[in-house]
Amino acid sequence: MMKNTSALWLLILISLLSCTTNQARLTVSPSSSQFFEGDFVSLSCEEDDSSAGWTLRRNTSKQQRTQCGDGWGEGAGPSCNISYIFTLDSGVYWCESREGPISNMVNLTVTGGSVILQSPVLPVMEGDDVTLLCKTKTPPTSQLLSIKMAPSSGSSLQVT
């Protein structure tokens, strides 16, 4: 009986460890999910365990599961630069390890238009202060908006 219990604890410990050691987070720089055509965008998988072999992949309207360097971006494995981003680069981006786990996903939208809303890429918690920037391409200006996420449904928009 005693033996079974310790075996169970060992199993739980092992699964906890494998959950925490095999993770990556996709970061986007500049931190925004909207870009102008022609912008420079740098993507990287911030990993806990680099031996897991993280690869950056994306789905766009034209191609699925392509990796950086395979027709888009420069770089290999966990970091990638897109020196001139096109509207066709809009899509969902994520990091994937050889063993299968994937990171958070990020939707990037590239516009050929003249105004974008620059908002944080990471999920926003209630009560957080969030900074949004309205940016225009020509002339390059930005208008700062500041909002606080309301604790209940919806969000209150307080422009400051």
Ligand X SMILES: *[C@@H]1O[C@H](CO)[C@@H](O)[C@H](O)[C@H]1NC(C)=O
Single residue of 107, 141, 146, 158 touching ligand X by CB under 6 A: 107
Candidate ranges 3-11, 58-66, 128-136, 147-155; the one touching ligand X (CB under 6 A): 58-66
128 vs 141 by CB, closer to ligand X: 128
Closest approach of Cβ 45 to ligand X, in Å? 12
Q: Pairing state of beta strands 115-118 and 129-136?
A: antiparallel
Q: What residue ranges in 90-128 does DSSP mark as E strands? A: 91-96, 106-111, 115-118
Single residue of 74, 99, 128, 129 touching ligand X by CB under 6 A: 74
Residues 6+ apart with CB under 8 A from 17: none
Single residue of 46, 49, 59, 60 touching ligand X by CB under 6 A: 59
For position 50 contacting ligand X by CB under 6 A, the verdict is no
For position 81 contacting ligand X by CB under 6 A, the verdict is yes
| Residue 124 and residue 155 in contact, taking contact as beta carbons nearer than 8 Å | no
For position 55 contacting ligand X by CB under 6 A, the verdict is no
Structure tokens at 144: 């700062």
Summary count for the chain: helices (H), strands (E):
1, 11
Residue with tokens 């987070």: 25
**Residue 155 CB burial class (10 angstroms; 0-12, 13-18, ≥19):** middle
For position 64 contacting ligand X by CB under 6 A, the verdict is yes
For position 92 contacting ligand X by CB under 6 A, the verdict is yes
- The contact set with ligand X (CB under 6 A) reads 42, 59, 64-65, 74-75, 79, 81, 92, 94, 105, 107
